[in-house]
Copies of this chain bind each other. A is one copy, B any other.
Amino acid sequence: MTEQLKRATISDVAEHAGVSRAAVSKVLRNAYGVSPAMRSKVEESMTLLNYRPLALARGMRGNSYTLGVFLVDLSNTFFSVLAEGIRDVAEELGYQVLIGQARQGLDAQKKLIEAMVDRRMDGLVLIAPFGPNEELEKLGRTIPVVVLGRHGPAQYFDTVASDDIAGSALIVDHLVSLGHERISMLANTQPASEPGMPQTVRRHGYDLAMEKHGLSQWIDHVPGRWGTESGLEAGRSLAARTPAQRPTALHGGADVAALGAYTTLFEAGIHIPDDMSIVGYDNIPAAGLPPIGLTTVDQSGVQMGRQAAELLLSRIEGRTASEHLLVPPRLIVRKTSAPPRR
Contacts and interface: CB of A to CB of B under 8 A. Distances in A.
Interface in A270-320: 285-286, 288-292, 320
A213 interface: no
A84 interface: yes
A54 interface: yes
Interface string A92-123: 00001111110100000000101100111000
B56 A259 contact: no
B74 A118 contact: no
B290 A289 contact: no
Interface of A: 1-2, 4-5, 52-57, 59-60, 64, 66, 68, 74-75, 77, 80-81, 83-84, 87-88, 96-101, 103, 112, 114-115, 118-120, 141-142, 228, 259, 262-263, 266-267, 285-286, 288-292, 320
Contacts of A55: 115, 118-119
A118 B53 contact: yes
Contact of A75 (B59, B66, B285, B289): B285
Nearest to A2: B141
Contact of A4 (B98, B101, B141, B286): B141
Contacts of A54: 118, 120
B96 A115 contact: yes
A167 to B, nearest CB: 22
Given A83-B74, A291-B292, A120 B56 contact: yes
B74 A101 contact: no
Given A52-B118, A99-B101, A119-B119, 6 more contacts: A5-B142, A56-B120, A74-B80, A96-B112, A262-B289, A291-B292
B66 A74 contact: no
Contacts of A97: 100-101
B290 A266 contact: yes
Nearest to A265: B290
A74 B74 contact: yes
A96 B54 CA distance: 19
Contact of A292 (B53, B98, B267, B289): B289
B74 A75 contact: no
A101 B75 contact: no
